[in-house]
Amino acid sequence: MIRRPPRSTPKPSSAASDVYKRQLLTDVRVNGFCVIEGVIPSARLTDVRESVLAAAKRGTKDYDPPTNVDFVPGFLNHDQSFAPYLAHETLIAVAERLLGPHLRISFTSAIVNLGGNDRGDWHSDWPFNQRNAGHVPAPYPDVVMHLTTLWMISPFTEENGGTLVVPGSHRSPTNPTGENEIDPKAPFPGEMRVSGEAGSVLLMDSRLWHATSPNKTTEPRAALAVRYAPWWLNVEVLRPESPERDYLLSASGKSDNQVPSLKHSVYDRLPENVKTLYRHWVVD
């Protein structure tokens, strides 16, 4: 049975807050995802959305995203409007229950789906994408190793292409990026589209099968992809300056994601509880 993520409400007591967090954890463990509402306050949403859209449009020219998609990795270097919310108490509490203490952020990307973008392939995110040079070989152990969060800077709706997911697929020992007979382009039995209000965060076990859905409107659907890792997960293959990256790409003959290092000038301006999530990305 699919557990629908509960709608968040103002938390009148610590007991109510604990119940809410336990429900979110249950949703992730059973279905592979949950939706945390109200992470970005409604009073700040318009300013954050305008800032993200403008910075993504400026930054995407340096990359080669799919048609009708603006994509910028290392997005914190380009825009910090959302930075105060990266250590949101509920989000961090759920992530720490799943990954343990001393969390790190491994990716911070802007993804803006413009009208007319194509449906994407079914996949699981790094480090479970078998097309990457650095990946966990299938079959996977049934362990949470990495979390993907998609920040709804715009609402996620049926019309504008809310993310497609296959509930429960995080328990699979493989995914459609591996050598199997799963068609990554085809609809999958039991798939569903995740919807949510702007300011919400879709949190997924990174093993969860998911895909980009077409935006059938004329308005851009803005999102941030922020991924959280435990302290012990080696993310050096993502760092452009890393010798480990050079070795793995050469040895495997495959490519991998690139996450630009964080500028000192940006890091120094971050809130203290956010700095702890990024200190490993600051390189002299």
Q: Which pLDDT tens digits describe the chain residue by residue (284 residues)?
A: 344 444 443 444 577 799 999 999 999 999 999 999 999 999 999 999 999 999 999 999 888 888 999 999 999 999 999 999 999 999 999 999 999 999 999 999 999 999 999 999 999 999 999 999 999 999 999 999 999 999 999 999 999 999 999 999 999 999 999 988 899 999 999 999 999 999 999 999 999 999 999 999 999 999 999 999 999 999 999 999 999 999 999 999 999 999 999 999 999 999 999 999 999 999 86
Positive or negative torsion for Cα 88, 25, 228, 40: negative
Q: Give the alpha-carbon dihedral of 9, 15, 21, 22, to 10 degrees.
A: -130
Q: What angle do CA 95, 195, 163 make, to 5 degrees?
A: 75
Q: Which helix (H) or strand (E) holds 221?
A: strand 221-229
